[in-house]
Structure 1
Amino acid sequence: MAAVLDRLRRHRILAALPLLEATSVIAPKSADADSFVEALYERGWITSYQRQALMRRDQLLSLSHYQLLERLGSGGVSHVYKVRDTRTNRLAALKVLHEDAQTNPETLARFEREITVATHLVHPNIVQAIDADIAAGKVAYLAMEFLPGIDLSHVLIQATRVALQPACVYIAQAALGLQHAHENGLIHRDIKPANLLVTVPDSPTAPTAAEVAQSSDGKVLKILDLGLARTQRSSQSDVGMSVTGHGTLLGTPDYMAPEQGRDPRGVDIRADIYSLGCTFFHLLTGKVPFDGGNVMQKLFRHVSEPPPRVERYLPNVPKPLADLVAWMITKTPAERPPQPWIVAKRLQALGLIDSLPIPNLT
């Protein structure tokens, strides 16, 4: 019991009055520490994550000035938490490296690069970085704006596919975010539905999969996860090949450009355009271009097999739109759209999206 009370105080989980009641009223009536924690949870004073962390006694409750509220997701080297900044009382999303990753020089170097990339990008279609720390001897983290939303991979799981008009809007918004990254000399290298979040500005709740799939009205797409991003000038210092010596794939096979499968250090923005094209194909048809098979078989098919046309699965799709998708996922980088803004411009010219702030570049 004393240990739980100490953690509540040290991590500032409860405000002054609830803490006083917890200490003087609830704790004396509780049979043990777990029943005490359960009583706090039933009163709505702690979140489900905090309840579990207090009971297990080995999970993070806070990090620096961030109070952990909920685990939003986990990846190969990190967790992402919904947190509250105790200085401002604002919510944020906190990406924290796994404990074993903290001592991996390659992972730390990649995370440091992600922090550098994220803090230099300010665009309405890219999630905004707020704060970061990667100092030696500390838990490395990256704080980002918290946006109630749903990523397009979950939309596809629940709704199978996205209607034509909203799919075009989401892809155009992603293209504009990628254009900003490109203008800042950056390549994402892992564009896929899971890294494209759809949110409703100023809404406290996320849109449902059905809402996202049926309409883009009032919705904004944000590009997530810059963990594999690199500058276009850093190819010689990049870590690893498409599959590193540790077996780590740099990218996602279902959406990976042929040249990235061969050598991720040599790619440019056109690899992101290919990945965006594969994502576009998936949104429209409910299928990835090369379905089935293991990782190496998928990579081989991206390199060697002609991609299917959208019409194969969506017979009534406008031919100019199908042609655009085919242009984006052509095998040879030189034969794709040279910059992302061209994708958004083409969608606008086809009358498939309303006005967006699309630059007129050459």
Structure 2
Amino acid sequence: MSTPPPDQPAEETPTVSASGLSGPGDDSALISEIENTVYSSGQPIDSDVAYAGLRPKELGLALRGQTINDVLLEEFVGGGGMGAVFRGVDLALQRTVAVKVLSTHRAADEDTKRRFEVEAQSAARLDHPSIARVYSVGEAQGLRYIVFEYVDGANLRDLVAEHGPLGLNDALSFAIQITDALEHAWQRDVVHRDIKPSNILITREGRVKVVDMGLARLKQVDDGRHDLTASGATLGTFDYIAPEQARDPRNADARSDIYSLGCTLFFMLAGRPPFPEGTALQKLLQHQGDRPPDIRTLRTSVPRDVARTISRMLAKRPEDRYADPSALLTALLRLAQRLGISPGLLTTARSLTSDDMALRRHAPWMVAATVLVAGWLLWPRLAPSPSPPQPFELTGEADQPGVLPLTPPR
């Protein structure tokens, strides 16, 4: 089973893996260098100077163990273009949280601060079981930060890398949950703009949590660094970006999320994105001009109706896709009903709680309380009442060697 290529975002720093979930590793030399920068004669120096120009990993190591506004930055767990991510503790409420600290070059600009606040407020309005919540935003020591729900789960990219493509039941169930989350956001004028496997977490009960909802727009500050024609960079992730979004990030809307979700569903079933080869620019051109492969050429067991649904999600023109997440959700629910798929078909042969599983890796989002998974209103007419949540395992599929669907434990 080959490992899928990383969903490398345009802004990812070379010091952190593409998933943004890697731990600090052996960084003693870097830590020593940072300590010499942050402290002078044993005393903290001005934070604006201390943290200026630090890359996300360096920022993470510099801030690890510090407290900002009653939030303890307990452990640095990764970083990307926007900044460093920590597992933290809200000391006032005594709950585990995730904290994203913006890179200093972003936090310094007044227009970026305003956008940051508006987008974070928009994301905080979202209240959905498949969306990781935004708790608060703040500023301290010259740093801007966001406090999130902490999701104890593995992202789809790591799950597929570890175990291969998902079974049809689980891929569709996850796609339905993601679409329901997108529909909730769309009804509140929030678009994700960066749907990809590493932004989709699966909890221990097999439930979806979409992260960075409503915050991806923070990456598209109107400066030349995000103009594809100016610098070769653009908002989004090259393996999953919609054609119109690649041309101009301001064109992204809910239909762009549908395209990215189509790429993600393709990845779940095939173990690779539609256009896995080439440079970043070549991938952008493929998304705009090349016809994506039929999923059935890579996995013959996929039903034709599923292949047609993915094909429509991947239409080049936004108007040829599903009109909005609500229309896609209706189509996916009907498709699942025709195929006899229900949320009870979530899970296992090898437990995701094993030590070598992706769940043991650091994830920058984790749920502070048990996720409520009672079958919920996605499936009021499609399935009987689900059984209580169970840890899930992976089993093989007879007609597709190497493909590991998620099925219920006996």
TM-score by length of 1: 0.72
Is 1:93 the counterpart of 2:95? The answer is no
Give matches, 1:238-257, under 5 Å. 243=228, 245=230, 248-257=233-242
Q: Tell whether 2:245 aligns with 1:260.
A: yes
Residue deviations 1:203-237 (CA, integer Å, cap 9, x gap): xxxxxxxxxxxxxxx3221111133238xxxx9x9
Shift of 1:244: 7.4
Which residue, out of 207, 225, 229, partners 2:217?
Answer: 229
Structure 1 residues 282 and 72: CA distance shift in structure 2, 3 A: same
- 1:244 to 1:142, Cα distance in 2 relative to 1, 3 A: farther
Q: Distance in 1 between matches of 2:119 and 2:84?
A: 15
Deviations 1:288-312 (A, max 9, x none): 1011111111111111111111101
Deviations 1:86-106, CA, capped at 9 Å, x for gaps: 112111101111233322456
- Give the superposed CA RMSD: 2.9
| Preserved CA contact (<8 Å) 1:345 1:358 | no
CA distance in 2, matches of 1:281, 1:356: 26
Where in structure 1 are there 5+ consecutive unaligned residues? 1-47, 201-217
Question: CA shift at 1:166, angstroms?
Answer: 0.8
Alpha-carbon contact 2:342-2:379 (below 8 Å) kept: no
Corresponding residue number in structure 1 for 2:325? 340
Q: Tell me by how many angstroms 1:268 deviates.
A: 1.9
Shift of 1:64: 1.2
CA deviation vs aligned residue, 1:28-82 (integer Å, no higher than 9, x gap): xxxxxxxxxxxxxxxxxxxx99x98997644221111011111122011311111
AA matched with 1:293: G
Give, in whole Å, the separation in 2 of the partners of 1:144 and 1:90: 11
**Match 1:152 to one of 153, 156, 164:** 156
Return the alpha-carbon distance in structure 2 between the equivalents of residues 249 and 93 of structure 1: 26
Alpha-carbon offset, residue 255 of structure 1 = 0.6
* Shift in CA distance, 141/340, structure 1 to aligned 2, threshold 3 Å: same
Aligned partners of 2:117 and 2:137 also within 8 Å: no
Aligned-partner Cα distance in 2 for 1:165–1:110: 39
What secondary structure does 1:253 align onto?
coil
The 1-side partners of 2:109 and 2:151 are apart by: 30
CA deviation after TM superposition for structure 1 residue 286, in Å: 0.5
Measured after TM superposition, the shift of residue 117 of structure 1 is: 2.2
In the alignment, structure 1 residue 287 sits paired with structure 2 residue 272? yes
- Cα distance in 2, alignment partners of residues 140 and 132 from structure 1: 8
For the structure 1 residues 162 and 227, does the alpha-carbon distance in structure 2 shift closer, same or farther, using more than 3 Å as the test? same
Aligned residue for 2:144? 140
Write the distance in 1 (CA, Å) between the matches of 2:170 and 2:342: 8
Distance 2:379 2:71 in 1: 38
Task: Kindly provide the amino acid, as one letter, of the partner of residue 136 in structure 2.
Answer: D
Aligned residues: 290
Q: Secondary structure at the match of 2:201?
A: strand
Alignment correspondent of 2:201: 197
CA distance in 2, matches of 1:193, 1:65: 32
Distance 1:86 1:281, change over 3 A: same
Displacement of 1:139: 1.5
Distance 1:76 1:138, change over 3 A: same
d(CA) in 2 for partners of 1:159, 1:114: 35
Question: Relative contact order (C-alpha < 8 Å, sep 6+): which is higher?
Answer: 2
Shift, 1:356, TM fit: 5.4
Q: CA separation in 2, counterparts of 1:298 and 1:85?
A: 41
User: 1 or 2, which has the higher helix percentage?
Assistant: 1
TM-score calculated relative to the size of structure 2 = 0.64
Contact 1:290-1:307 within 8 A present in 2 as well: yes
Separation in 2, partners of 1:148, 1:288: 25
Describe how 1:83-232 pairs up with structure 2 within 5 A: 83-105=88-110, 107-134=112-139, 138-200=142-204, 218-225=205-212, 226-229=214-217
Of 138-147 and 107-116, more deviation after overlay is shown by 107-116
Corresponding residue for residue 32 of structure 1: none
Distance 1:133 1:359 in 2: 38
Look up the match of 2:44: none
The 2-side partners of 1:358 and 1:239 are apart by 41
CA offset digits 1:131-182 (Å, max 9, x no partner): 11147x6311110111211111111221232111111111111101100111
Aligned to 1:305: 290
Q: Structure 1 residues 151 and 244 mapped into 2: Cα distance closer, same or farther (>3 Å)?
A: farther
Partner of 1:278: 263
Matched, 1:357 2:345: no
One-letter amino acid of the structure 2 residue matched with residue 153 of structure 1: R
Question: For 1:140, what is the secondary structure of its paired residue?
Answer: strand
Q: Distance in 2 between matches of 1:244 and 1:253?
A: 15
Unaligned runs of 5+ in 2: 1-23, 39-61, 344-374, 381-410
Query: Relative to structure 1, is the Cα distance of residues 245 and 116 closer, same or farther in structure 2, using a 3 angstrom cutoff?
Result: farther
> What is residue 364 of structure 2 aligned with on the other side?
none
CA offsets 1:217-270 (integer angstroms, 9 cap, x no match): x3221111133238xxxx9x9666553756542111111111111112123210
